[in-house]
């Protein structure tokens, strides 16, 4: 995985800066940190998808496009940053979520998404269906 997560988190926090020069330099540092770990922004976006972190598909697609060379990657970076701000999120939160998702979890509740809200996992649908069809005897 990522060897120096603290360095990546610091770079991604600076990617949220208002100054475009500072943000671009931070993006380059984050890309270097990812390449040291044999990753890139596209692979990071795949990790986000695999771990089912809550990001809109448009934002994940923007992160994937940030690896493109030159102006295309810069435009994708700016678009992704503005989309994150509109959602009330940041690159730093993405780094923290990846870090937390990478840790082994023990003794945690399992949550799943149902309809438009998160609910506790209380058994399979099949079990619920069978339980609802049981008739009292006697």
Give the chain's domain count. Answer: 1
Residue of higher predicted confidence among 77 and 112: 77
For range 84-106, the mean pLDDT: 80
User: Given a cut of 60, is residue 119 above it in pLDDT?
Assistant: no
Residue of higher predicted confidence among 46 and 136: 46
The CA angle 99-64-50, to the nearest 5 degrees, is: 45
The pLDDT, as a whole number, for residue 110 is 46
For range 60-86, the mean pLDDT: 90
Can you tell me the distance from the alpha carbon of 81 to that of 41, in angstroms, rounded to the nearest whole number? 14
pLDDT tens column, 16-54: 888 989 999 999 999 898 888 888 888 888 888 887 777
The pLDDT, as a whole number, for residue 137 is 58
Residue at 119 is within a domain: no
Residue at 13 is within a domain: yes
* Whole-prediction pTM: 0.66
Domain coverage including residue 47:
5-106
Residue at 71 is within a domain: yes
Residue at 44 is within a domain: yes
């Amino acid at each position: 995985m990522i060897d120096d997560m603290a360095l990546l988190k610091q770079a991604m926090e600076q990617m949220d800066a208002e100054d475009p020069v500072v943000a671009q330099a931070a993006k380059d540092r984050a890309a270097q940190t990812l390449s040291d770990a044999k990753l890139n922004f596209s692979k990071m976006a795949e990790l986000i998808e695999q771990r089912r972190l809550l990001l809109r598909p448009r934002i994940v697609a923007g992160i994937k496009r940030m690896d493109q060379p030159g102006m295309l990657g810069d435009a994708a970076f700016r678009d992704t940053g503005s989309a994150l701000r509109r959602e009330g999120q940041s690159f730093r939160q993405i780094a923290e979520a990846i870090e937390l998702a990478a840790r082994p979890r023990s003794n945690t509740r399992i949550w799943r998404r149902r309809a438009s809200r998160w609910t506790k996992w209380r058994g399979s649908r099949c079990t619920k269906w069978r339980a609802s069809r049981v008739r009292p005897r006697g």
